[in-house]
Amino acid sequence: MKLAIVGIRGIPNNYGGFETLAEYLVEHLSSEIDITVYCSSVDMDSNMQEHNGAQLRYIPITSHGAKGIIYDSLALIKAINSFDKVLFLGFGGGYVMPFLSKKQQNKLILNIGGLDWQRNKWSSFAQKIIKTAERLLIKNCGRIVADNIGIQKYIKETYNKNSTLIAYGGDQAIHREISDLALAEYPFLKDKYAFTVTRIQSDNNIEMILESFCMQDVMPLVMVGNWNNSEYGKIIKAKFQNHEGLILLDAIYDRKKLDILRSNCTIYIHGHSAGGTNPSLTEAMYLGLPVFAYSSGYNEYTTNNLAIYFNSAEELASQVENYTSLPIANMGSKLMEYAKTNYRWSDVANKYKRLILN
């Protein structure tokens, strides 16, 4: 069986939802399935030809922004005739679908992730373009994967299409004790602190979360993200970086270092709003962290309603100020138990394997 994975920036992955999924599918399935991953030579730091048993093919176009639709479409066109199945991640290939035969369409396994057209970083025109691409994909592909019950319901209610529910794993996160080296680099580790790792984009409620920690003085917030990758990130960092209750760190790609920072926080903050299941949330759950999540509906599904939820900066600030009155230790244990049952990459890969081979 020859499988192509299309629609991502590429692997090896730093962090990103679809890239994480592709990374672990390759790790678990490449010994049984001949996997090729399409990558952007513009976005990837290295142009290696093989990774963890998967072949890598490159397209010289960025996967970001408006050009991402061209990138996804070209990759899909290249893959559809050369492979038995194509796992498409995202929305960008939608405009190719009407030009494919029914046989070609039936090769496609689709995972749209979240509802990208809802992201407020897009203009209203771009949102319409993305929503149309989503519709063309869902209406015409062979199989559909939903990574969240909320997304599964959306697909059924909006398009009257059935989907297979397969979430993400979280067991790549490992609890690590604070080392002397880490403490020297990050002195805040010796005290209580809140923590989040996220892409710096507005639909992740970055400003809301930062404002909330400016309203209280119980503990600082450590936020790790790609601040310098967008004008939005640069503006927000300049606005908040001098506040004593905020520690804004650039993206950390050393997983051991990131796990130390996550493992030892007092509470974990999750602000994603655009739908679907996010790996950083399943990882936090797997580490047994008390989670304070934005009330998107999708986050409630992911956490099985076991976390604390907020809708505004004021509400989050109040929750943090009163965290000692909340059952956070018990919450963390319950979230870990749920994650260990529902968010293992071996189980995720086996579910995808059944879809691919059938």
pLDDT exceeding 70 applies to what percent of the chain?
Answer: 99
Question: Rg of the Cα trace of the chain?
Answer: 20
| b/e burial code for range 13-40 (CB count within 10 A of at least 16 → b) | bebbbbbbbbbbbbbbbbeebebbbbbb
What is the predicted pLDDT for the residue at 323?
Answer: 96
Query: Regarding beta strands 194-198 and 267-270, do their DSSP bridges make them parallel or antiparallel, or are they unpaired?
Result: parallel
Centre a 10 Å sphere on the Cβ of residue 1 and count the other Cβ atoms it contains: 13
57 — pLDDT class (breaks 50, 70, 90): very high
Q: What is the residue whose two structure tokens read 């319901």?
A: 153
Residue 321 to residue 328: CA distance in whole angstroms: 13
What is the predicted pLDDT for the residue at 291?
Answer: 98
Residue 120 to residue 203: CA distance in whole angstroms: 6
> Are 138 and 109 contacting, i.e. CB atoms less than 8 angstroms apart?
no
Torsion-angle region of 297 (φ positive above 0: left; ψ -120 to 50: alpha; else: beta): left
What is the predicted pLDDT for the residue at 15?
Answer: 59
Query: Regarding beta strands 85-89 and 108-111, do their DSSP bridges make them parallel or antiparallel, or are they unpaired?
Result: parallel
pLDDT greater than 90 at residue 130: no
Strand ranges (E), 67-140? 85-89, 108-111
> Are 176 and 283 contacting, i.e. CB atoms less than 8 angstroms apart?
no
Could you give all domains of the chain from N- to C-terminal order, each with its CATH number? 2-169+344-357 (3.40.50.2000), 180-342 (3.40.50.2000)
Tell me phi and psi for residue 58, to 5 degrees. -120, 145
**pTM of the prediction?**
0.90
pLDDT mean over 249-266: 95
DSSP string, 199-225: ---GGGTHHHHHHHHHS--SS-EEEEE
Q: What is the pLDDT of residues 8-39, one digit of tens each?
A: 999 987 656 789 999 999 999 999 999 999 99
Residue 200 to residue 191: CA distance in whole angstroms: 25
Cis-peptide into 12, omega within 30 deg: yes
